[in-house]
Homo-oligomer: A and B are copies of this chain.
Amino acid sequence: MKLVIVGGVAGGASAAARARRLSEDARIVLFERGPDLSFANCGLPYYIGGEITDRDKLLVAKPALLRDRFRLDLRPRTDVEAIDRARKVVRVRSLAEGRVYEETYDKLILATGAAPLRPPIPGIDLPGIHTLRSLGDTDRIKAAIDRGVARAVMVGAGFIGLELVENLVRRGVATTLLELQDQVLPPLDKEMTAPIAAALRAHGVALRLSESAEAFEPDGDGLAVRTKSGQRLPADLIILGIGVRPESGLAAAAGLAVGPRGGIQVDPHLRTSDPDIYAVGDVLEVPDYVTGAPTQVPLAGPANRQGRIAADHIFGRDSRYRGTQGTAILRIFEMAAAMTGISEKLLVRAGRPYQKVYVHPTQHAGYYPGARPMTIKLLFEPGRGTILGAQIVGEEGVETRIDVLAMALQARMTIFDLEEAELAYSPQFGSAKDAVNMAGFVAGGVARGDYAQVHVEDLPALVREPSMMLVDVRMRTEYDGGAIPGAVNIPIDELRERLDALPPGRRLIIYCQAGQRGYVATRLLRQLGHDAANLSGGYKMYRMSHPDR
């Protein structure tokens, strides 16, 4: 067996190591266009920022190890230019020597990854405009900052963009962040990103939403960005992080099936339309685990799993890829934001029915020092209650709950299973009713029809109903500190005594700070015959949805 792998980073390197563990006598050739194999893409921003000080640490598996332990035939700085499927050879060009030669294969794995988008904006090719993919890119950006960068513009507020912004701030660079959409972290739903936008602003980042770069131009010794809204932003350094496109040109030229958005199409064994050619990693189109629809999710975890699965199948195993959930997490300053499964906006776009709840539990027992609230958004199927997606933002314990919910989603568990989850509780790590249980309780109550809920986005229409009455059941001091316009304040513990303040026949919309007192009040009022509904996530959710008020 001669296995040829094109691309030596996450998916390609994983496939190579797995192949060797499965077969000592296979010949395994690993081509990589760049100089570096098996490096830690996700660590690059932190080397720029100085948290990772040793560049060598970014090489996950050193070439010597790949050669000695896994006996791989490593060919860095080598570009695979064409695949001749009929003859089962690839044509390669050694970038160091310029030599072009052919290499035969029995099986071929394409792990060519995805390239950062560089749209044809005027001035895009000026020096000083960077993207971040390779160690070389990293060195160039770091060298620029080391030489002295006063002002930077980051274009794109996705995961990599925010990681870079954090590290630019860490290096003392005054940073402007442009994002075409009206929110940071576009994979998340907008309201969940408000605390992240606030954290960015609190750390001095000039955040410009609904804004984009129209042109880049020289400006003295540096550059300037001309924006859609007509601003001109001088900058010593510009980084683009507006997305990636699969590097599927090699595959397409060889006639392999490629999806409408450029991802190579594969079967569950990660085999392309040619049974001797597999593809793994960011170059793929994969099934969304929730919807089954094809999607492209450039993430390191799935790429690694895919490398393993392709090697397995090549060596006779029945391994299958189950699809990608899109589990992702970001630390940004003191905050973390995470998601798994599908977002609300994609559910809306797909026309798929769903319900949602918001809760704001703490990461551990409130009586123990250091309790911090997080916000969990849980999306689930009406009726059965199957979990469709979750998003979490907060300071502490976010990673634990998103991982728990990722497992629940993998197992196709329901919100009712979350009610019954038995998670680890000690005062430092959890609560007798964990954050995940709380999300389950609230969702379960909604699904069982225990109480009606409304969402912040329903309020404008509700306010127009003459019978509607908005009741703030928080304490007077909380109400005085800020409330939803038009709300009357009846603290929950006075509710039974002040029922005369609630005329019959009114539609009562109840809210508290986080949702829990509103829930208790709603239950009470409904049992007393009122038409009452609770605002999910309470005033806190109202604030997250109206961050500028």
Which residues of A are in contact with B by a Cβ distance under 8 Å? 10, 21-25, 40, 42-43, 46, 51-52, 57-58, 60, 65, 68-71, 163, 289, 299-305, 322, 324-325, 327-331, 336, 338, 340, 365-369, 399-400, 402-404, 406-408, 410-411, 413, 417, 419-430, 432-434, 436-437, 492-493, 496, 517, 519-520, 523-524, 527-528
Instruction: Please name 18 further chain A to chain B contacts, defined as beta carbons within 8 Å, in addition to the given A52-B368, A329-B424, sorted by A numbering.
Output: A24-B523, A42-B425, A42-B432, A43-B365, A52-B367, A57-B367, A60-B366, A303-B432, A305-B420, A305-B422, A327-B422, A329-B430, A331-B426, A331-B428, A340-B422, A400-B403, A403-B430, A404-B406
**Contact residues in B for A24 (Cβ distance below 8 Å):** 523-524, 527-528
Q: Which residue of B lies closest to A451 (CB)?
A: B21
Identical chains bound together, number: 2
Can you spell out 14 A-B residue pairs with CB atoms less than 8 angstroms apart?
A21-B523, A24-B528, A51-B368, A52-B367, A58-B367, A163-B426, A302-B422, A304-B432, A304-B433, A329-B430, A404-B407, A406-B424, A407-B413, A411-B411
CA distance A328 to B400 in the complex (A): 15
Known: A24-B527, A51-B368, A324-B422. A301 touches B432 (CB 8 A): yes
- A422 lies within 8 A of B406 (CB): yes
**Contact residues in B for A299 (Cβ distance below 8 Å):** 425
- B367 lies within 8 A of A60 (CB): yes
CA distance A496 to B430 in the complex (A): 49
Please indicate which of the listed interface residues A21, A328, A338, A340 has the most CB atoms of chain B within 10 Å of its own CB: A21
Q: Which residue of B lies closest to A302 (CB)?
A: B422
**Across chains A and B, which 5 residue pairs bring their CB atoms closest together, nearest first?**
A411-B411, A329-B424, A24-B527, A68-B493, A407-B407
**Contact residues in B for A527 (Cβ distance below 8 Å):** 23-25
